[in-house]
């Protein structure tokens, strides 16, 4: 009999609770489908149920909405002299041209790079998990951690629009309105956050264990 | 900084040391005791498993009480005001959410409200509800459910992102008008710091263990 190099909880018929972390065995439940954690009463699953499928669904929805999020105006500014509609990108260009390079860079990273990076990274993770790849598990786990960490910062532009729209309401002189692009952009951020939560990083390691147990 | 745990092949033996499974790779390991301030990491994927934060619950409670007071100021008082040719306007957090709602952007307004008002408010209130009785050796009713909710909503509180949003707005508005920083601006700065400390001190695992002890003690009596 070959030795298992690294025993996973699932490989030994145990299940760890996603909420409280308690590891429980089959002695606490009859079947895993209806099992509840004996400590916190959360539903127990060996792996997040429907992880890959729901992650794909959320991700594809995010890809689709990413297009209107970038094409539709996110902010409409009206003043005595001009009326302009800004998309995310034109807002950044405007900031850059007015000499605020640092802020332009921050907004560019948070609003353009981060959502794109998240979606591409999740696609990569999903494809590799579906193909039961054993390729660079450590790096893929790190990638997932990074996706989880940076996702929230894309909300930046939504907050900027919120503050501007509330503050710049000086009749006849200047008004700022949120544009329809903000809805699509907010949806992209929320969808990718849900997708990242749905993805189960333990799936990255499962093929390696299966192979070592053969 | 970190201690590695070596996985045990004979974990099924009758040894009483509790086991822990890595959240990111499902490796099963035996728990070891940690020195104060140390974190246990998975020896397979490097994810952090559990921490030993000294006085975690007391510190979190103190921070949550402070955060509660600052949060009220941050939500109610004006964040920022502008002055253009003698006309002044200013806005607070609730007013900003309402302005967006009135412009017909209801979805976005709800999103902003959830991430900057509801989630932090609920999280801070629940932390106090949970930790204050525990401080006096009592378990509040529904403690397990409350702790589960806290863990579930934490990713949706985005005060620190909002803070950055305010700073970006300041730069954008600087060319347009004279800016008047409001009281809530400083409160948001403080709140960002306090909540960052809450994240670094609050250890849900420790509360779960605490609740375990309490219920076991209660059952024995």
Q: What's the pLDDT tens digit per position in B50-103?
A: 888 888 889 999 999 999 999 999 999 999 998 887 888 888 999 999 999 998
> Mean pLDDT across chain A, nearest whole number?
86
Domain identity same for A5 and A69: no
Closest chain A C-alpha to B25 CA, distance in angstroms: 4
Q: A21 CB near a chain B CB, below 8 Å?
A: yes
**Number of domains, chain A:** 2
Residues in chain A: 214
Q: Read off the pLDDT of residues A147-189 as tens digits, 9 standing for 90 and up.
A: 999 988 999 999 999 998 888 887 767 788 888 999 999 999 9
Q: Residue B171 domain-assigned?
A: yes
Residue A68 has pLDDT above 90, yes or no: yes
Phi then psi dihedrals of residue B25, to 5 deg? -130, 0
Cβ atoms of residues B202 and B127 within 8 Å: yes
Domain identity same for A32 and A95: no
Domain identity same for B179 and B191: yes
Distance CA B183, CA B188 (A): 9
Q: What is the ipTM of this complex?
A: 0.88
Distance CA B157, CA B67 (A): 13
Across the strands, what pairs with B21? B28
Q: Cβ of B158 and A178 within 8 Å?
A: no
- The mean per-residue pLDDT over the stretch B95-122 comes to 93
**Number of domains, chain B:** 2
Domain identity same for A177 and A119: yes
Q: Residue B208 domain-assigned?
A: no
Closest chain B C-alpha to A124 CA, distance in angstroms: 17
Domain identity same for B139 and B185: yes
Domain identity same for A146 and A60: yes
Q: How confident is the model at residue A1 (pLDDT cuts 50, 70, 90)?
A: very low
Give pLDDT, residue A5. 54
Domain identity same for B102 and B36: no
Angle between helices A101-108 and B159-174 (to 10 degrees): 140
Chain A contact probe: residue of B7, B21, B29, B80 with most A CBs at under 10 A: B21
Domain identity same for B173 and B86: yes
User: Residue B21 is nearest to which of A9, A40, A153, comparing CB atoms?
Assistant: A9
Domain identity same for B87 and B166: yes
Q: B14 CB near a chain A CB, below 8 Å?
A: no
Q: Tell me how many residue pairs between chain A and chain B have CB atoms under 8 A apart.
A: 204
Domain identity same for B64 and B48: no
User: Residue A162 is nearest to which of B85, B112, B211, comparing CB atoms?
Assistant: B112
Its domain, for residue B71, covers 56-202
Domain identity same for A133 and A154: yes
Q: Cβ of B96 and A165 within 8 Å?
A: yes
Residue at which a domain ends, from B52, B72, B88: B52
Which CATH number is A195's domain given?
1.20.140
> Can you read off the two tokens belonging to residue B124?
């801070």
Any idea what the Cα angle at residue A143 is, between residues A140 and A146, rounded to 5°?
155
Dihedral sign, Cα of residue A100, residue A103, residue A109, residue A111: negative
Its domain, for residue A87, covers 48-213
Distance CA A47, CA A200 (A): 7
Q: Cβ of B24 and A141 within 8 Å?
A: yes
Chain A contact probe: residue of B4, B13, B20, B25 with most A CBs at under 10 A: B25
Domain identity same for A1 and A66: no
Domain identity same for A37 and A58: no
Domain identity same for B133 and B39: no
């Amino acid at each position: 009999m070959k030795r298992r190099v690294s025993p996973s909880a699932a490989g030994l018929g145990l299940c760890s609770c996603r909420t409280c972390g308690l590891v429980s065995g089959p002695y606490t439940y009859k079947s895993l489908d209806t099992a509840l954690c004996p400590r916190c009463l959360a539903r127990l699953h060996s792996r997040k149920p429907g992880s890959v499928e729901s992650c794909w669904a959320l991700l594809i929805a995010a890809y689709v909405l990413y297009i209107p999020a970038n094409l539709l105006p996110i902010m409409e500014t009206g003043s005595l002299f001009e009326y302009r509609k800004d998309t995310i990108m034109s807002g950044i260009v405007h900031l850059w041209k007015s000499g605020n390079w640092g802020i332009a860079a921050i907004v560019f990273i948070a609003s353009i790079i981060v959502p794109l990076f998240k979606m591409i990274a999740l696609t990569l993770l999903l494809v590799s998990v579906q193909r039961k790849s054993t390729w660079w598990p450590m790096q893929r786990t790190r990638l997932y951690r990074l996706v989880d960490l940076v996702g929230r910062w894309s909300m930046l532009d939504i907050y900027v629009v919120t503050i501007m729209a509330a503050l710049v309401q000086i009749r006849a002189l200047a008004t700022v309105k949120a544009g329809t692009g903000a809805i699509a952009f907010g949806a992209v951020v929320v969808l990718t956050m849900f997708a990242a939560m749905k993805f189960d990083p333990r799936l990255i390691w499962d093929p390696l264990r299966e192979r070592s147990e053969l | 900084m970190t201690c590695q745990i070596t996985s045990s092949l004979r974990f099924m033996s009758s040894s009483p040391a509790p086991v822990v499974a890595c959240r990111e790779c499902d490796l099963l390991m035996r728990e070891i005791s940690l020195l104060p301030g140390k974190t246990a990491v998975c020896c397979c994927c490097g994810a952090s498993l559990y921490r030993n934060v000294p006085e975690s619950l007391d510190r979190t409670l103190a921070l949550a009480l402070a955060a509660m007071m600052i949060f009220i100021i941050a939500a109610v008082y004006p964040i920022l005001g502008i002055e253009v040719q003698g006309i002044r306007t200013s806005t607070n957090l609730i007013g900003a959410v309402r302005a967006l709602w009135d412009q017909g952007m209801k979805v976005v307004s709800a999103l902003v409200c959830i991430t900057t008002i509801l989630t932090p408010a609920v999280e801070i209130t629940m932390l106090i509800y949970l930790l204050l009785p525990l401080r006096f050796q009592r378990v509040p009713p529904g403690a397990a459910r409350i702790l589960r909710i806290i863990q579930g909503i934490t990713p949706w509180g985005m005060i620190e992102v909002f803070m950055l949003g305010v700073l970006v707005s300041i730069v954008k508005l600087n060319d347009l008008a004279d800016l008047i920083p409001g009281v809530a601006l400083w409160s948001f700065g403080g709140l960002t710091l306090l909540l960052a400390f809450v994240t670094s001190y609050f250890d849900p695992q420790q509360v779960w263990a605490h609740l375990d002890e309490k219920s076991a003690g209660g059952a024995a009596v």
